[in-house]
Amino acid sequence: MSDFTSNFWSIYVGGITVVSILACALLLWFSGKAKAMTANDNTTGHVWDGDLREMNNPLPRWWVWLFIITIIFAGVYLAIYPGLGTFSGNAKWSAVGQYEAEVAKGNADVAPLYAKFAAMTPEDMSRDPQAMAIGERLFMNNCSQCHGSDARGAKGFPNLTDGDWLHGGTPDKIKETLTLGRIGNMPPMAAAVGTADDVKNVANYVLSLSNSPHDSVRANLGKEKFMVCAACHGADGKGNQALGAPNLTDNIWLHGFGESAIMAMVNNGKVNQMPAQGERLSAGQIQVLTSYVWGLSNNSKAK
C-alpha cells in the first residue's frame, strides 16, 4: 500500500512525460540531419509498380513547424497546468478546484430560491410543488440508491413511506439523520440469551408480539429470556427511538421475517450505517430534502 502513497508514481509519470517530449524533439532533429543513401537522382533505390520511386526529400517546412509548435505547446502547458507529478503548475489550476468553484457558483445561483424555502415550515414546504420537485431530484441523486426510487426501501434499507421510524419521524429528527447520519448496532445476544434452544424460543416470542405465525409453546418459554432484549426494545417490545431500537410489535421487518431471520439476528447481530449527507449537501438542500422525506409518510397532511 505504501507504493500508492509515496512520490514514486508522481516521479514516474513526470519522468515519462519529459522523456517523451525530449524524444520527439530529438527525433525531429535527427530526421532533419540524417542523410539517407541515395542515387545520383536523389532516389533511395526503392521502386514500386515499375516506375514509382521513393525520393529522399526533406519534410515540408509547414510540417516541421507543426512538430516544433507541438513541442513548445507541451512545454508551456506543463509549466501552467499540472502534469509533472506533484507540480501543480503556475496557474494553480486543479480539477478539484474547478469543481468546487462550479459548486459554489451553482449554490450562489440558487441561494435566493433556498432563502424563500428557509422561511417556510417543513409542512408548508411539503405542499409546495417547486420545493417538492427539487426535493425529488435531491432524493433520486442521493438517497434512491439505498431506499429505492419509490422510497420503499429493501431488506436492510428502511421504507420511508410507512411512518415506521427507528429514530423518530419528526422533521427535526429527519434533518438530524440526514445531516449527521446514523449507525445502528444490534450486538450478538446468543451468549446472553442462553442455549440455541433458548434463542429459538425468543425468536418465537418476538414473532408472537406482532401476531405473526409462531410456535406458542416456544413463545411462552421465550418470554422470560426476552428480558435480555428488553433493555433496548422495551419490556413490551415497542422499541426505543432514543436508541434506534426497532418496534417488534408492528410486523415491519427491516432485516428479514421469520424464525430463522430473527435467530440469525440474535446470534450474529447487525451493524447498519446511514451515511451523513451534511458535508455533501448545503443547509438549504438538507432542509428541502427533509421536507420531501417527511412528506413521503405524511401524505394526508401534505395534501
| pLDDT at position 2 | 52
Mean pLDDT for 104-129 is: 90
Round to whole Å and give the CA distance between 258 and 175. 33
Q: What is the mean pLDDT of the chain?
A: 89
288, 275, 273: which is closest to 175 by C-alpha? 288
Q: Is the pLDDT of residue 46 over 90?
A: no
* Residue 279 φ then ψ, to 5°: -85, -15
95, 92, 102, 146: which is closest to 293 by C-alpha? 146
pLDDT-derived band of residue 241, with 50, 70 and 90 as boundaries? very high
| pLDDT at position 32 | 77
| pLDDT at position 39 | 62
| pLDDT at position 1 | 46
Q: Which amino acid is at 207?
A: L
State pLDDT tens for residues 64-107.
899 999 999 999 999 999 888 788 889 989 889 999 999 889 88
Q: Is the pLDDT of residue 253 over 80?
A: yes
Q: 129 vs 114, 136, 289, CA distance in Å? A: 14, 10, 13
| pLDDT at position 301 | 47
State pLDDT tens for residues 137-153.
999 999 999 999 999 99
Mean pLDDT for 47-54 is: 80
